[in-house]
């Protein structure tokens, strides 16, 4: 269970669940591991769901980087058709996360807002466009961490989601998956893929 809960309606927790205490420990441990390898990402992007924000915050804490803040990016959210129509009302705002003590960058301008609806092809394109237009165009050599669900990680390994079953198969993996991204101008390299059951 999570060590503490933010007061919210129970239905919000059904569709936007928090990270467990074990998950928070795993995220911080990964952050310390990256720091021990001399990897100091300048930017962290994450999906606006609570679990992703808490994972990103655990990584930043483990990295020990006071200058790193989290960019909350709606384009990284899971397939929109798998969420209730009022999902936008369920997730916390960047300002609310900041108020809870998470290192959120309130100056970040999202690449894309939350879609009202989309088909699977549009979902694939949304993730691809975010990496193509936002990540690959960062103009200095640095490291970036992107935190989202397993589907996004699988997509960055060139796995195309063709059906809802493909998405469900990916989301049901009992792992924390992260791709660590190294950047050069105009190039993106997924240099480390981390998987851990938790």
- Model confidence pLDDT, tens digit, residues 29-70: 989 998 998 888 878 999 999 999 999 999 999 999 777 789
Nearest CA among 12, 25, 42, 29 for reference residue 142: 42
Average pLDDT, whole number, for the chain?
81
Do residues 80 and 88 lie in contact, with contact meaning Cβ atoms separated by under 8 Å?
no
Does residue 2 lie within any of the structural domains? no
CB atoms within 10 A of CB 73: 23
| Domain harbouring 108, CATH code | 3.40.50.1240
Which of 4-8, 26-30, 69-73, 121-125 has the lowest average pLDDT? 4-8
- Quote the CA–CA distance of 112 and 129 in Å, as a whole number: 10
Does residue 35 lie within any of the structural domains? yes
Q: Which domain holds residue 101?
A: 10-197
User: In this predicted model, what pLDDT tens digit does every residue of 64-119 receive, in sequence order?
Assistant: 977 778 999 999 988 888 888 888 889 999 999 999 999 999 999 999 887 778 88
For the entire predicted model, the pTM comes to 0.85
Helix pair 21-36, 50-63: axis angle to 10 deg: 40
Write down the pLDDT at residue 114. 78
Nearest CA among 134, 144, 126, 140 for reference residue 189: 144
Local structure of residue 154 (DSSP, 8 states): H
Q: How many domains does the chain have?
A: 1
Task: Decide if pLDDT at 11 tops 70.
Answer: yes
Does residue 22 lie within any of the structural domains? yes
Does residue 110 lie within any of the structural domains? yes
Does residue 16 lie within any of the structural domains? yes
**Residue 64 main-chain phi, psi, to 5 deg:** 70, 30
**Residue 21 main-chain phi, psi, to 5 deg:** -60, -40
């Amino acid at each position: 269970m999570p060590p503490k809960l933010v007061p919210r309606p129970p239905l919000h927790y059904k569709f936007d669940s928090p990270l467990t205490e074990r998950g928070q420990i795993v995220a911080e441990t990964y952050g310390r591991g990256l720091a021990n390898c001399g990897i100091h990402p300048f930017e962290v992007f994450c999906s606006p769901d609570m679990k992703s924000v808490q994972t990103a915050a655990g990584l930043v804490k483990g990295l020990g980087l006071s200058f790193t803040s989290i960019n909350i990016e709606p384009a990284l959210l899971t397939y929109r058709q798998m969420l209730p129509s009022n999902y936008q009302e369920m997730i916390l705002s960047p300002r609310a996360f900041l108020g809870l003590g998470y290192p959120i960058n309130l100056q970040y301008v999202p690449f894309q807002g939350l879609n009202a609806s989309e088909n699977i092809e549009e979902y694939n394109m949304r993730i691809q466009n975010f990496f193509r237009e936002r990540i690959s165009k960062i103009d200095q050599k640095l490291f970036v961490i992107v935190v989202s669900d397993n589907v996004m990680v699988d997509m960055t390994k060139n796995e195309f989601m063709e059906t809802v079953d493909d998405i469900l198969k990916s989301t049901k993996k009992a792992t924390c998956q992260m791709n660590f991204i190294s950047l050069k101008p105009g190039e993106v390299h997924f240099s480390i893929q981390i998987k851990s059951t938790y």
